[in-house]
Each structure stands twice: as C-alpha cells, then as structure tokens.
Chains A and B, each alone.
Chain A
Amino acid sequence: MVRRIETIGNEVIFSFEGQPVTARAGDSVAAALTAVGISHLRDSVVSGAARGVYCMMGACFDCLVEVNGVPNRQACMTEVRHGLDVRRQSGGVEVRS
C-alpha cells in the first residue's frame, strides 16, 4: 500500500490504460501511478519483461510510457495534467510518420 502524507487538495484526473487516475497537481505521472499502486509501466524492448519506475529522476529511462499518443516519454519527468492519456508501452516502438 501507498500513503500520501497530505490530502490531495488540487485534484488532477488523467487516464492510464483508459482507467481514470486521481493525482495531486504537481505530481509526475510516475508518482501519481505509484500512489495508486501501479508499478508495471512498460514491457522491455528485448525480452518483453515488465518494467517500472527505477530512479525517479530522469536518468534510467525505465519508466517510458506513451503520453497522448507520443511514445518513449519519461513518466517521472512528465507532470500530470487533466485528461492526459497515458498508456503502457510494449516492447520497441515503430517509427511512425
């Protein structure tokens, strides 16, 4: 279980895999997902193994997710906003035109 030591106050609602997630304004996507117990953010590029937040400071690139259709976004470096559509990323990403 995860606890917030303060009340959420200013709520922001975004979605992960189509499900609504309530976050605190100013949270990163990675923090907001951690707070609701979601740790599996992507499947790795080589073996397809489950991955999630590791460093929380933009260095490890293990928390890559798709944000509003753009892949390979660092969840820990992306601030939550109302209506953000966040998706789990599976394996490598195709180059799209």
Chain B
Amino acid sequence: MTRQFDVAVIGAGPAGLAAATEAAQSGLSVALLDEQQAPGGQIYRGIETASAARLKLLGADYAEGRPLVEKFRASGAEYMPGSLVWNVTIDKVVEFSRDGASSRIRADAIIVATGALERPCPLPGWTLPGVTTAGALQILLKASGIVQEDAVLTGSGPLLWLLASQMVDAGVPPRAIVETVPNGRLLQALPHLPKALWQRSYLFKGLSMVRKVRRAGVLIYRNATGVAVEGATFATALNFTAGGKPHRIETRTIALHQGVVPNQQVTRLLRCDHVWDSSQHCFRPVIDAYGATSADGVYVAGDGAGIGGAKAAAIQGQIVAIGLALRAGRGNGERLAHLHSALAKEASVRPFLETLYAPAPQILSPADDTLVCRCEEITAGSIREAVRLGAPGPNQVKSFLRAGMGPCQGRVCGLAVSAIIGEERGETPDDVGYYRIRPPLKPLLLSEIANFATSDAQEHATE
C-alpha cells in the first residue's frame, strides 16, 4: 500500500519546518521529505550540530533555526531525511529515492518548500575550480567550520556582507569585496527607504556588517565592471575595472553572488502558473494569500514563492499550514491576521534591497564568448545565434544546443538563458518563458528506480 498523508512537505528549511510543525500540531498527518541528512535547509545548515563557537560567529539570525528545528522534532510530523524527491504528480503522489531505493507516498496536499538557488553569474572564468557561489563558502562555514583564506567576494547583495562579516568573526577575513552595484543605485533605491524603515533592524544590521568588514581591513571596491576570473586549470586572479582603473587581485578563492532566486523545479514540473517578478528579476509561481498555486492541492511556502528571507519563509509556512487545517475543519484562524501583518512587515525592506542590489548588467547580458550553460558548455553567443536561426524560446534553444540538458537540468543556467533570448528577441521574460521541467527532478542511478520498494511495485503493477 502506498502510504497516505494529509500533507507532504518537500524541503526542511524554515518554510518546510514551520509548515510541517503547524500542520502536525493541528492534528494533520504530515510527512516532511528533505534531501539533506539533517534539518535546517541551507539557511540553517548544520544547526543541530554546530558547536557553541560556530553558533556564536554565525550570529543570532542563524541561531533562530534551533527552536524551529526543536519544535519540528517534537511536532509528531514524520521526518524523512536523505530523501531525494524525483517526481511529484498532479494527483499528489511524491516519488523519492532514499538509501538507494525509491518509494512513493500520496498526500491530500503538497507544500513545496524547496527554497532558493543562487542566481546564475555568467562571467569569464566562472567555471574554474576555486570559483564558487558565496552560498557555497557559507555552507562550508556552517556545515563544516571551514573558512578559506584570501577569498575575494564579488557581486551584489546582502549575503556578500553577511558572509564577509562571518569570516571576520571566524578570524579569516576575506581579502576583498568587489561590489558590482552601479553608482546611482542607492539614489534609485531611496524612494523605497521610508517603507524599509518599518523593518529598520535589517538596515542597522547591514550597516554594522559593512562597518565590521571595513574595520577588519578588507579591501572594498565599488561599482566594479568587467569582472573576469583568470586561470588555466584553477582560478589564479580576479580582474575588474573600478574607479576608472583596471585592477587585478591574485587569489585562488573567488565567490560569486548576484542574489538568490526561487527554485522552480517542482512548481514547473507541476505546470503551475508562473509570473516574472520585475523587482526580483526572476520567475515565481503565482500563489494566493494561503500559498495555493494554480495546481489543485499544491502550495508553496518560503523563498520558492519569491524571495523574502528566512523569517518570512517560516511565517509563510505557518500560514499555509493553518489554511490547510482550517479546510480540514481543524484548528482556528485566530493567528492569521497577526501572521499576515508580520509577513507584510518582513516584506517592507525588500523593495529597497531589490532596487539597490539588482543584478549586475554584466551578468544579465553576458559577452558572446562567456559560458552560460556550465554542464553542456554553451556560450551566450551560441544562444543568440540559435535565436537568430529562429529558436523562439528556451525549449527550442535546448533542442538546438543542449543548453539546460546536462545533469543540473537548467537549475544554474535557466534564468540566464531566458534573459538572453528575451534581450535578443526584444520580448519580456513572460513571453519567453522557461525550460519545461520533467521527471526525474535529479539524475538517478537505474538501481534507484529498479529498487522500488516492493509493496509499491506490486501496487503499481496492479493499477
């Protein structure tokens, strides 16, 4: 028999943990599936095992993951770690691989809490060993307590400063921060400042991070353009122009960041309606006030529905779960008004940050010889050429060139490919669209499908 749950939650970050906890506490049967071996998602990675020293240097915001995980552990929700979800169907069957074998569960409702991915940063040399995302360096610190010396952080967004200040606290400050935020952005963002003051603690936190990084003697370059990594078999230097002068910093560790974007894989697989968010420069699934997508019984909570950060994600998780409980005739909606206003407060800082830290022009429109699809090694120029030959969208470019057809299945290049096509055709991202995502959501060994749990296989055979 396929096990049946009221709610299946995919992802154990703040949204998934909060949703599963809330749903289980209101008496619904809940399964939470997550690919990692421990709860927390990427933002609270290693939260249960981090030493006191690591907790201290990662800061109070990170430590907030502890009670979230403790409540989840005590909630009665069934936790399925190490479970790679490789298919979700519109009749709400979730197929996943765990310990080398696949099985499936069925649920009345699915909450997609698969969070965010780093925005693609196509620039010359970005595939060289030693070049990672900023998120990767932070995961090394959170999960393993590993920090690299002489790192150069480049790009745009609060994470660069957060990571730098955590590295300072770890006693290994980065060599430099090379910001690609153009001059004049602050001025553009100023109209959003009054609203952002509603959540001014984030602004103060940002300013104090910048001060800390400056005091630690980290070199800071602003308004950098023409960022390029130099190296043959690994990164050896970062080149860029700033203040009207060319610069070259020797380093073997370079971290890129241009903000994070919703992970669309599951919602695209389910053919949920998506819309282009012109402030966040990304696609997000269309949802109502209770996280419901256009697919019946499929909900999204957290950054997967549009970037709002960890606290907003946990609030959204609670809202979605309370909504489901109410529909099942359980619980009550007393806290909903409070949660919706807390969510609005969290969101108030976003327009300011999104305007100030909008992605750099260089990565939105990469040079012709820059690799865009890392897996299949497809350049921006060849994508433009395919468009000139008549490819109207990403799926045709995929057929022409194999862009997005490698093992990452377009997770890294997708937004960049859609943007290049849109620019070349003079169309909006909504017109251009996105890759059509199909199962399996991640590459599997044949044995992981062959080893379908026996009871499931029998049921499947008789269906």
Write the residues of chain A forming the contact surface with B, with a CB cutoff of 8 angstroms: 1-6, 24, 26-28, 31-32, 34-35, 39-41, 44-47, 49-62, 64, 70, 72, 77, 79
Contacts and interface: CB of A to CB of B under 8 A. Distances in A.
Interface stretch (B132-140, B193-201, B272-280, B425-433): B132-140
Interface string B107-150: 00000000001100000000111111101110111011111111
Contact of B233 (A4, A50, A55, A62): A50
Given A5-B171, A40-B233, A44-B377, A60 B411 contact: yes
Interface in B249-297: 252, 263
B136 A3 contact: no
Contact of B140 (A34, A40, A50, A59): A34
14 contacts: A5-B145, A27-B143, A31-B140, A34-B146, A39-B234, A46-B376, A50-B129, A52-B129, A52-B130, A56-B135, A56-B137, A57-B135, A61-B375, A61-B406
Given A5-B170, A6-B53, A34-B140, A59 B127 contact: no
Contacts of A61: 375, 406-408, 443
B374 interface: yes
B146 A2 contact: yes
Contacts of B118: 55, 59
A46 B406 CA distance: 11
B125 to A, nearest CB: 10
Contacts of B129: 39-41, 50-53
Given A46-B377, A56-B140, A3 B133 contact: no
Nearest to A35: B146
B53 A5 contact: yes
A6 B145 contact: yes
A59 B408 contact: yes
Contacts of A55: 117-118, 132-133, 135-136, 412
B51 interface: yes
Nearest to B375: A61
A57 B376 contact: no
Contacts of A53: 129, 132, 136
A60 B412 contact: yes
A28 B412 contact: no
- Residue among B35, B140, B172 with most chain A CB within 10 A: B140
Residues of B contacting A: mostly: loop
A5 B57 contact: yes
Given A31-B143, A58-B35, A70 B445 contact: yes
B89 interface: no
B135 A5 contact: no
Given A32-B144, A54-B136, 19 more contacts: A2-B146, A3-B147, A5-B147, A6-B53, A26-B49, A26-B144, A27-B143, A47-B377, A53-B129, A54-B127, A56-B133, A59-B263, A59-B412, A60-B408, A60-B411, A60-B412, A61-B443, A72-B443, A77-B35
B384 interface: no
A72 B375 CA distance: 13
B173 to A, nearest CB: 12
Given A6-B145, A46-B377, A59-B411, A51 B127 contact: yes
B81 to A, nearest CB: 12
Contacts of A47: 377
Interface string B144-177: 1111111000000000000000000011100000
Contacts of B139: 56-57
Contacts of B350: none
A6 B51 contact: yes
Contacts of B147: 2-5
Give 10 closest A-B pairs by Cβ, nearest first: A52-B129, A56-B136, A39-B129, A61-B407, A46-B377, A31-B144, A50-B233, A56-B139, A61-B408, A5-B145
A49 B233 CA distance: 7
B400 to A, nearest CB: 15
Interface in B344-379: 374-377
Interface in B376-412: 376-377, 406-408, 411-412
Nearest to B37: A79
Contacts of B143: 26-28, 31
